[in-house]
Amino acid sequence: MNVTELLAHVRDEYALSLTATDVVGGEDELAVVLHTVSTDGSAFALKASRDDLSAGALVSAHLAGQGIDAVPAPLPATSGHPWSLLDDAHQVTVTQWARGRPAARGGMVLNQWRSFGAVLAQIHAARVPALTRARLPVEDYATPAVASVRSEARLLQSHGVGRGTGNNDPLVSALTHRWLEVSDSVLVIADQTEALGRELRGRATPLVLTHGDAHLFNVVVDDDPPALSLIDWGGTALAPRERDLMFVIGGVLTQAPVTTDEQSSFFAGYGDGAGEVDPMRLTYYRCSWAVQDVASYAAQVLDESRPQPQRVHALRLFTDLFEPTGIVTTTLESLRWIGWTGQ
């Protein structure tokens, strides 16, 4: 993406002159996020994406307008909408920069966990305007990554015939060897994702406004003065609250598992005990997240057109999924919790 053209677009659509200082963002391959500074020194997150940003922009603008300070407000474009069209393929948002550091880097003290709980409770209790609500995805318990995992399983199994690798690329070989060790667990989780989804579609489901990606890299904290922000609203949807609580009950990050004390502090702020959480819905979301991570990281390693450092990083992240605090391990524990016996 041409950064000069992007900044010119912002100047025209937002009457804002920005200078890009850094490329930031997570694992989203469809988007670029820039840390930018305006002429008066104000900082903004500038995002351009091939995904539809409109629902997240409308929701975050509404929540910020309702006085939820932890939600950074996107700026309105000349159209009046909190997003703009860069071209036929890309949408753009310009959002106030959340000061501080991701909570995944350095953690949070218990008071910050309590604040996080209070913020998520406000979001789950929020009501959004009808036009915004109509744009929001509604949980359907479908996980497209299940098909991707099965396709990758067939490919990697063919590489591993006879315990060889069937491929001269060392990263694909390393992935294949690891896959042969863990494939049974991955395919069990893929099967259970679909089975739980079928069962949950037949049950009455209380829906709330959810963030959908509330892991600790999207929680930004600052100590002086104290501040907490919840960023990246691209996954917002109407769904059961377990969709967000999964990120707190154990967590999804291998290197930043959530302790029992942190969880207790969160729920002290949230206002409901962990006993109110539905085990089946929580397990479904863990299964779905695990399958998506496995599929994404494996695909990145298998893509030999990618730069080598990206593929090395993806292989490390794939391997981390199976650590004692990794999402695959915690998902298998969750399946046993709801009665899955391994048969």
Question: What are the sequence ranges of the domains in the chain?
Answer: 1-97, 101-343
What CATH number was assigned to the domain covering residues 101-343? Answer: 1.10.510.10
Which CATH number is 1-97's, of 3.40.309.10, 3.30.200.20, 3.30.70.2740, 3.40.50.40?
A: 3.30.200.20
Is the pLDDT reported for residue 232 higher than 90?
A: yes
At residue 159, the pLDDT reads: 80
| 289 vs 143: CA distance, rounded Å | 9
Secondary structure (DSSP) of 102-154: ETTTT---HHHHHHHHHHHHHHHH----HHHHHHS-B-----THHHHHHHHHH
**Minimum mean pLDDT range among 22-26, 219-223, 235-239:** 22-26
Is the pLDDT reported for residue 342 higher than 90?
A: no
Is the pLDDT reported for residue 278 higher than 90?
A: yes
Residue with tokens 């009455």: 204
The H or E element that residue 284 is part of is helix 279-302
Q: Do domains 1-97 and 101-343 have the same CATH topology?
A: no
Total-model pTM: 0.93
